Structure 1
Amino acid sequence: MTKIVISEFMDEGAAASLEDRAEVVFDTGLVEDRAALLAAVADAQGLIVRNRTRVDAELLAAAPRLRVVGRLGVGLDNIDLAACEARDVIVKPAHGGNGSSVAEYVLTGALMLRRRAYASSVSMLAGGWPRQALIGREVAGSTLGLVGFGAIARETARRARALDMKVAAFDPHLASDAPEWAGVTRHESLDALIASSDVISLHVPLTEATHHLIDAAALSRMKADAVLINASRGGTVDEEALAEVLRQGRLAGAMLDVFEQEPLPAGSALEGVPNLILTPHIAGVTHESNARISQMTADAVREVLEQEEVSA
C-alpha cells in the first residue's frame, strides 16, 4: 500500500482525505526527531512538509521509494531541488494558498508600525499616559515599497491601494512591460525603491543573491521614519545590522516573521531591540489559509501518486 508521511502540522481534514488511498503517518513530532523521520520515510512514496523539515540528500537516500514532496507553502529553501530532480522526486508547493494571509499580515504591520500606538498597555496600566509620545503616522498617502513583485506582493499591493497607499516595487525578474505593473511605480534598482519608500516589505526567496539583501548599507539608505517588514524568508535581512539601526533610532520600526535561525537562539541580536515586532513564521498561516494550503497539497500529492500508479 502507498505510504505518505506528514512531518509538520496541516489541516486534519485534508490529511484524512488521503487515507482512502494510502497509509498516512501524520506525526508533527517528526520534524524535531531526525532519526525517527528518516526511519518513517524509508518505505514512503509521499512526504508532506512545511518549512522546517530538511528534504536533503540524506533524507532522499533514506527514502528510496519517495516519488513526491508536498510543500505546505511556497518557500523551497528547505528542499534540495537539485537532489530531488536527480532522484526523479517531484516537488509540489502550494502556490496561491496563503497570499491573502501574508498580504493582511504585511498591511497590519504597516498600520501598527506607522501608528505606533499599540504597545502602550504596560505603561498605561502603570499609571502612564504617553499620548504625546505615541502620535504616529497614517498609511494613507505613504509609499509601500515591495521588494519582489510576485503573486503575494501583487495581492499586498491591491489591498494597499484600498488604503490609499502609493505602491512601488523592484523586481528585476519581471519584464518592464509586464501587465502586472499597472498602477505600480516600477523602480530600476533596489536603492531607488528603498530611498523613496515609507514602508518596505520583502517578497523574495532566499538565494545567494538575496542573502542579507537588506544589510547595513541598504538600511542606511532608508528614510529615518520608514519601517521594514519581512514575511518572506529569514536570512534576507541582516538581523544584527537591523538591531543596530533600531537601537540608534535610524529606522522607525520593523516587523519580522522569519529569521536566519528558527526558533531564535538564546542571546539573539534582536533581544531587547526597541520598535521591533517579532512573530514565529506565521504570516501565511491562518485557519483559512491552513485549510486551503493543506487541501491543495493533499490533492497535489494524491495526483502525482495516482499518475505513478497508472504509469507503473
Structure 2
Amino acid sequence: MRIVISEFMDEAAVDTLRQRFGPDAIHYDANLVDNPAALAAAVADCDAFIVRNRTQVRGALLAACGKVKVIGRLGVGLDNIDVPACEARGIRVIPATGANALAVAEYVIGTAMLLRRASYLSTAEVIAGKWPRNKLSAGRETAGAVMGLIGFGSIGQLTARLARALGMHVIAYDPALPATHTAWQDIGVQPKTLEQITTEADVISLHVPLLDATRNLFDANRIAAMKPGAVLINTSRGGIIDEAAVVAALKLGSLRGAALDVFTQEPLPATADWADCPNLVLTPHIAGVSFEANIRVSSMIAAAVIDALK
C-alpha cells in the first residue's frame, strides 16, 4: 500500500498511517500541492490520496491517479474534487464531515460579535493617544439580534445552537431540509424564505456549497436588500457573494460589517479595493482550521482511509 498526502495533516494521524502501513508507504509533503509535476508523479502508483482544499483533483491530476482507490478530504467541501469523475473511475471520496463544524461555528459567532460591536479595531488609535470613545459607543449587543443562516446542515445547526445560547433569535433558509425535519424544532430555529432572511436578519452567515444555483447568491441587489446595519459572514465558498458588491456596500455604509474567509480567487490577489473598507475581517480560508479541528479532521480521515484499504 502507498498513500500520498499533499497538504498539511496532523502528525499524530500521519504516524497512525505509518504504523498501519509502514513508514516507507507514506509520502507526506505539506507543500507537494505547490509542485504539480512532483505531485502527478507521486500519485501515479499510490492507493490512497489525502488532500485539503488547494489540491485540485480533476483533469490531468485525476488521470494520473491510476491506482487510487480512495481520496480522503481533510475538510468537508468537495468543489476541488471532480466527484462524478472519481465515481466513474471507482474511486471513493471521503470528506471529514462534522469534524471541523465547531471551529467554523465559533468563527461565525466570534466575528458576528466583533463586527456588531465595531469597537475592537481601535488599538492603534488608543496607543497613539487618541480616545475615540464617542465614535465607538454605538456598538450593538449580541443578545436579541437576529441570526440568519443560509444553509442549515450540520455547521449551520451548530452555529444556531451557539447563537441561541447567546440570546440571539435564529432563522434559517435551507430548501433541502423539509419544514417537518426535527432539527428545526429541536434547536428552536424558524424556517424562512431566502427573501425573509435577507430583509430580517441582523447577521447573515452562509453555509452552502458553491453550485450554479448559489453562485453570486449575494450579489449587489441582494446585499442592497439586506436590513440596514446588517453584517455578512461567508465561511462557505468564494463565488457565493459578489466581493466587489461587498466592498461598495461597506464603503457606502449600507453594510455594517463583513467577515470573509473564502474568496473567488485564493490567495486573494493584491488590490487596493479592500484597503479602505471599514469594519472588515478577511482571513485566509481558516475558519474550519483550528488546533483541535485539525486533530479531529486528520484522525477521522486517517481512520477512514485505513478502513477503505482493508
Using structure 2 for the length normalisation, give the TM-score.
0.96
1:181 positional shift:
0.8
Which residue among 172, 195, 198 is the counterpart of 1:194? 198
Tell whether 2:162 aligns with 1:159. Answer: yes
1:202/1:230 contact within 8 Å kept: yes
Tell whether 2:239 aligns with 1:235. Answer: yes
In 2, distance between residues paired with 1:296 and 1:269? 40
2:251/2:276 contact within 8 Å kept: no
1:21 positional shift:
3.4
User: 2:278 is matched with which residue?
Assistant: 274
User: 1:184 is matched with which residue?
Assistant: 189
In 2, distance between residues paired with 1:20 and 1:116? 49
In 2, distance between residues paired with 1:37 and 1:257? 27
1:125 positional shift:
1.2
- Give the letter aligned to residue 74 of structure 1: V
2:149/2:156 contact within 8 Å kept: yes
1:270 positional shift:
2.8
User: 1:309 is matched with which residue?
Assistant: none
User: 2:287 is matched with which residue?
Assistant: 283
User: 1:26 is matched with which residue?
Assistant: 28
- Give the letter aligned to residue 94 of structure 1: A
Which residue among 211, 215, 230 is the counterpart of 1:211? 215
More divergent stretch after superposition (18-27 vs 297-306): 18-27
User: 1:92 is matched with which residue?
Assistant: 94
1:147/1:171 contact within 8 Å kept: yes
1:263 positional shift:
0.7
1:229/1:254 contact within 8 Å kept: yes
In 1, distance between residues paired with 2:275 and 2:303? 41
In 2, distance between residues paired with 1:31 and 1:274? 35
Using structure 1 for the length normalisation, give the TM-score.
0.96
Identity %: 54
User: 1:39 is matched with which residue?
Assistant: 41
1:60/1:66 contact within 8 Å kept: no
In 1, distance between residues paired with 2:276 and 2:89? 46
In 2, distance between residues paired with 1:113 and 1:266? 23
User: 1:224 is matched with which residue?
Assistant: 228
In 1, distance between residues paired with 2:275 and 2:240? 19
Residue-by-residue CA offset, 1:224-258 (whole Å, 9 max, x unaligned): 21001111111111101111111111110000111
In 2, distance between residues paired with 1:95 and 1:64? 26
In 2, distance between residues paired with 1:157 and 1:275? 23
SS of corresponding position for 2:20: coil
In 2, distance between residues paired with 1:48 and 1:294? 10
User: 1:310 is matched with which residue?
Assistant: none
Residue-by-residue CA offset, 1:91-111 (whole Å, 9 max, x unaligned): 000011011111111000111
In 1, distance between residues paired with 2:32 and 2:39? 5
1:38/1:62 contact within 8 Å kept: yes
1:239/1:269 contact within 8 Å kept: no
Tell whether 2:253 aligns with 1:249. Answer: yes
Tell whether 2:73 aligns with 1:68. Answer: no
1:20 positional shift:
2.7
In 1, distance between residues paired with 2:271 and 2:28? 34
User: 1:168 is matched with which residue?
Assistant: 171
Residue-by-residue CA offset, 1:172-228 (whole Å, 9 max, x unaligned): 1100111111111110x2111110000000000111111111111110111121001
1:274 positional shift:
1.9
Residue-by-residue CA offset, 1:247-292 (whole Å, 9 max, x unaligned): 1111100001111111111226434322210011111111111000
- Give the letter aligned to residue 4 of structure 2: V
SS of corresponding position for 1:47: strand
Matches within 5 A, 1:1-150: 2-22=1-21, 23-135=25-137, 136-150=139-153
In 1, distance between residues paired with 2:38 and 2:206? 35
Write out the 4+ residue segments of structure 1 that deviate beyond 4 Å after TM superposition: none
- Give the letter aligned to residue 184 of structure 1: V
Structure 1's 268 and 191: CA in aligned 2 closer, same or farther, altered over 3 A? farther
SS of corresponding position for 1:228: strand
Provide structure 2 residue ranges, at least 5 long, that are not aligned to the other structure.
none
SS of corresponding position for 1:28: coil
Indicate the RMSD between aligned Cα atoms, in angstroms: 1.0
2:171/2:191 contact within 8 Å kept: yes
Residue-by-residue CA offset, 1:122-171 (whole Å, 9 max, x unaligned): 11111111111112000100000000000010001001111000000000
